[in-house]
Amino acid sequence: VLGGRVAERNAAFLARALGRRGVRVERTLVVGDDPDEVREAVAALLARGPDLLCTTGGLGPTDDDLTMRAVAEAVGRPMRLDESALAMVVERSRAVVRRRRVDPLVLERIRRKQATLPDGATVLPPEGTAPGAALTHDGTVIVVLPGPPWELQSMWAAAVEADPLRGLFARGGAPPSRTLRLWSVVEAELVEVLDRLSAPDRASLGTYTKGGELEVVVPEHLAPHVTELIAGAFGDALFATDERTVDTIVAARLAGGGETLAVGESCTGGGLGARLTEMAGASTWFVGGVIAYADRVKERLLGVDPAIIAQHGAVSEQCARAMAAGARAATGADWGVAITGIAGPGGGTAEKPVGLVWIAIAGPGGGLAVEHRFWRGDRAGVRARSETAALHHLREALARDARTVTDP
Amino acid sequence: VLGGRVAERNAAFLARALGRRGVRVERTLVVGDDPDEVREAVAALLARGPDLLCTTGGLGPTDDDLTMRAVAEAVGRPMRLDESALAMVVERSRAVVRRRRVDPLVLERIRRKQATLPDGATVLPPEGTAPGAALTHDGTVIVVLPGPPWELQSMWAAAVEADPLRGLFARGGAPPSRTLRLWSVVEAELVEVLDRLSAPDRASLGTYTKGGELEVVVPEHLAPHVTELIAGAFGDALFATDERTVDTIVAARLAGGGETLAVGESCTGGGLGARLTEMAGASTWFVGGVIAYADRVKERLLGVDPAIIAQHGAVSEQCARAMAAGARAATGADWGVAITGIAGPGGGTAEKPVGLVWIAIAGPGGGLAVEHRFWRGDRAGVRARSETAALHHLREALARDARTVTDP
């Protein structure tokens, strides 16, 4: 996998997409938009003899978009105008032409450039205006993908169904690993438990900290044993042993129970709502809420008593509880989740330092509030951890009978 | 630069941080958590003779955290317990120990592991629990950084002040390039304008599409000429020629004018608020707003007349205008921004397809509403483009006299 400047997000997407199909990404290489570097990088990766080589980026209309030519040179093939690709490009660029005045000669040049592929390549239909390509060279399937993440992702979804890739994945077989997800466990505790495994087994695990969660990636053949070991040691802290995340667990539980959720967000500024609505179909259970960044908005829209803020401050148990109850009451949702904290870098005091975050849940059966002190993390880290923690408290509250929600 | 699974975000951060100091990232390599692969990759990158080599990740307490050893092997040095690193690790892990029961023997092993560095390396103080390291080998400065992005970023900020890196950056000199940012220009139009440059000059530019914006990265020596060319062709569509983004421009304008902003978000679910509050200090001008995902919340909290939704639908000019005015009125802010649209994948109709988004601005001098049809992009793309477009409409409204805001 290699590409240009936005390559990181694409690399992450491809690693996930391939991992799900049992294909391991052995190497990711990011190089500059220089024709020699790209050609050299493709050649070097091909020399390792991979089953699959993906390139991303460099398919646009400008002169620094040179990936097709670099790939052709690396595999020693001429470039050739592909008439079917040209037809696709003309079709896709029509919407732009309708809206803009572009010199027809320039447009013709751009279209021909984007439709010129390495000889013998299969064209992958464009999602934006640039077609991709797939070709086979010395047993390696080469897939040339566009740089804009959504174009790449749409094309990938289509390309996976294409013949060369289908053959590849048929060989791949079952997923080679399983991801165990833990909440409220620190890595040192995990080390102690994993000591019970043999050294080679231990070395085959991957452990990752991720916004307050721990992920343990376990080879499939060890999964039953390691899952049992971790479940025995940490109980409910092991919250998922499959593709589920805390986001999808909460969504499924709310949708399944026909219940709705509203948020009241201060320091996260809308981030929890944005994260929840990344999931398509969230409208069946998420109604919205209030971004209560200023104290005035906490009072006006969430009905927080000004006396609470005057007496306890906006970052307090009392305010968090009032915000969660207010989110519920103001929107008519079944559940309210509130986050109020000090994300930093400024605003901290000795008594209320940066990283202090109160999270509250209000539900049909009552409410709860939990204090967090995220001493690890900058502003973005504190905000992301707050969102994740809020979802876990909600998950736990939803897992209990809603009538009996009380403080932990 | 190389590392493990969350390497993508770190690679992007380092490329930006180094770019600002005039250091070009020639190559990014991502490899698996395998000791042989890491050692081989470090050796291969060192063989290219770079000024700087950064590794990220693999400094944790588990057995798959093996970067220090791999680096030591690649440069042919023994590993050595660093007493000052050990003292730092003990100090940093105290907070964890207070909260958790971890076997003291396990803890001692973890601490010693994390404090053992390649011989002769300078320890970089830990931000989490894992120290980093800096060493020089055959003229290359090697910096070993942790994987969690905030730990890496904090350590980087500290490490940049360290002696080996300061020497490196002193050589780097002025930034080698400037970024021109355009809004509402498509790449084909840009190609036409860039045709007026010589072919080598054109090839030295990098152009990137980014959520509806176009970025042109221009070598410093061409910057005046290319800036003039693009400004002449596109006028105000060229909105920044320095480090500013639409986010920082809007923030500076609001803060400078002592004005406040509120949002009313439907399809973006809080994403605009989250994006604005990524900027520290946003509380001086951002008050919050309403995530009006459900129609009921649009009516109850933003005061949208139910008749508007019944007659025109929630994705309509009328609803967007009412939401922007409602965000302003409900919070008492000077400006209101509203976004309502169909992000997909479901919910589209022939008349109102996926990608249709109405954006409205309400200000002291009146309001405006703009229809967008984001035919490129999936759910995440439509949402991100909507947020960016909303900020541009706000930027334009703020740039005019606030008293004279009218429809474009």
Residue B330 and residue A148: Cβ atoms within 8 Å? no
What the block records as the tokens of B249 is 């421009």
pLDDT(B174) > 60: no
What does the pLDDT average to over B156-165?
72
Cβ pair A288, B326 in contact under 8 A: no
Q: What is the pLDDT of residue B405?
A: 43
pLDDT of residue A328: 98
For residue A134, the distance in angstroms to the closest alpha carbon of chain B comes to 22
User: Mean pLDDT highest for which of A101-105, A158-162, B350-354?
Assistant: B350-354
pLDDT recorded at residue A32:
73
Exposure letters B254-275 (e unless 16+ CB within 10 A, then b): bbeeebbbbbbbbbbbbbbbbb
Residues forming beta bridges with residue A3, ordered by sequence position: A30
Q: Measuring CA to CA, which residue among A52, A221, A57, A251 is closest to residue A140?
A: A52
How many other C-beta atoms are found inside a 10 Å radius of the C-beta of residue B203?
A: 16
pLDDT of residue A277: 97
B20 has a chain A CB within 8 A of its CB: no
B192, B294, B331 member nearest A106 (Cβ): B192
Out of B15, B28, B202, the one facing A29 most closely (by C-beta) is B28
Higher pLDDT, A392 or B105: A392
Distance from CA of A348 to the nearest CA of B (A): 13
Nearest to A300 among B25, B194, B331 (CB): B331
What is the reported pLDDT for B407? 44
Tell me the average pLDDT across A33-57: 86
Q: Per-residue confidence at B96, pLDDT binned at 50, 70, 90?
A: low
Give me the total of CB pairs closer than 8 Å, taking one residue from chain A and one from chain B.
317
Nearest to B207 among A64, A96, A344 (CB): A64
Between B155 and A343, the higher pLDDT residue? A343
Mean pLDDT for chain A overall: 87
Task: Tell whether the model's pLDDT for residue A99 goes beyond 80.
Answer: no
Most B CBs within 10 A among A48, A277, A315, A382, hence the mutation to make, goes to A277
Please tell me the predicted confidence (pLDDT) of residue A248. Answer: 96
Beta-carbon count within 10 A of A259 CB: 16
A283 touches chain B (CB under 8 A): yes
Contact A329, A309 (CB under 8 A): no
Say yes or no: B301 contacts chain A, CB-CB below 8 A. Answer: yes
pLDDT recorded at residue A271: 98
- Which residue(s) pair with A28 in the sheet? B30
Whether residue A160 contacts residue A166, with contact meaning beta carbons closer than 8 Å, is answered with: yes
- Report the SS3 class of residue B294: coil
Q: Stretch A338-350: mean pLDDT, rounded?
A: 93
Whether residue A110 and residue B287 make contact (CB cut-off 8 A), yes or no, is no
Backbone angles phi, psi at A212, to 5 degrees: 95, -10
Q: How many residues does chain A have?
A: 408
**What average pLDDT does the segment A189-211 reach?**
87
**Do residues A55 and A121 make contact, with C-beta atoms less than 8 angstroms apart?**
no
- Segment B312-329 shows an average pLDDT of 98
Q: What is the ipTM of this complex?
A: 0.84
Q: Which region, left, alpha or beta, applies to residue B301 given φ > 0 means left and ψ of -120 to 50 means alpha?
A: alpha
- Which has more pLDDT, A248 or B165? A248
Mean pLDDT of A109-123: 90
What is the per-residue pLDDT for B198? Answer: 92
- Supply the mean pLDDT for chain B: 87
Q: What is the pLDDT of residue B404?
A: 43
Q: What is the pLDDT averaged over residues B182-197?
A: 90
Q: Name A55's Cβ contacts closer than 8 Å, sequence gap at least 6.
A: A1, A2, A3, A38, A42, A67, A71, A142, A143, A144, A145
Interface residue A19 vs chain B (CB under 8 A): no
User: CA nearest B344 in A: which residue?
Assistant: A280
Evaluate if residue B172 carries a pLDDT over 80.
no
Q: What six digits make up the tokens of A391? A: 């979802």
CA angle B243, B245, B250 (to 5 degrees): 125
Residue B4 scores a pLDDT above 60:
no
Q: Per-residue pLDDT tens for B198-243?
A: 988 988 888 888 878 999 989 889 999 999 999 999 998 999 998 8
**Does B289 sit within 8 Å of A269, measured CB to CB?**
no
The residue among A285, A293, A335 with the most chain B CBs within 10 A of its CB, best to mutate, is A293
Is a pLDDT exceeding 90 seen at residue B272? yes
What is the model's pLDDT at position A238? 96
For residue A229, is pLDDT > 60? yes
Give me A89's structure tokens.
Answer: 């490009």
Nearest 5°: phi and psi at A292?
A: -105, 70
Q: Are A338 and A323 in contact (CB under 8 A)?
A: yes
Residue A168's nearest CA partner among A17, A7, A2 is A17
- Look at residue A37 in the predicted model and tell me its pLDDT: 82
Alpha carbon distance B108, A232 (integer Å): 24
- Best probe of the A interface among B10, B26, B30, by most A CBs < 10 A, is B30
Residue B137 has pLDDT above 70, yes or no: yes
Residues 367-406 of A with CB under 8 A from B: 375-381, 383
Mutation target for A interface from B293, B298, B300, B315: give the one with most A CBs within 10 A: B293
How far does B265 lie from chain A, in Å, by closest CA? 9
Q: Place B175 in a pLDDT band, splitting at 50, 70 and 90.
A: low
A184-188, B5-9, B133-137, B277-281, range with greatest mean pLDDT: B277-281
Beta strands in A146-256 (DSSP E): 177-183, 206-210, 213-219, 238-240
Q: What pLDDT shows up at residue A403?
A: 42
Q: What's the whole-number mean pLDDT along residues A116-127?
A: 89
pLDDT digits (tens, 9 = 90+) for B70-79: 999 999 999 9
For A70, the token pair is 């670099």
pLDDT of residue B353: 93
Partner residue facing B96 (CB), from A186, A278, A379: A186
Which of B187, B283, B294 is facing A62, going by the closest CB pair?
A: B187
Interval A29-42 mean pLDDT: 82
Confidence at A205, pLDDT banded by 50, 70, 90? confident
A179/B contact by beta carbon, under 8 A = no
Name the percent of chain A in helix, strand, coil, to the closest 5.
45, 20, 30
Closest CA to B224 of B241, B249, B200: B241
Q: Tell me if A293 sits within 8 A of B293, measured CB to CB.
A: no
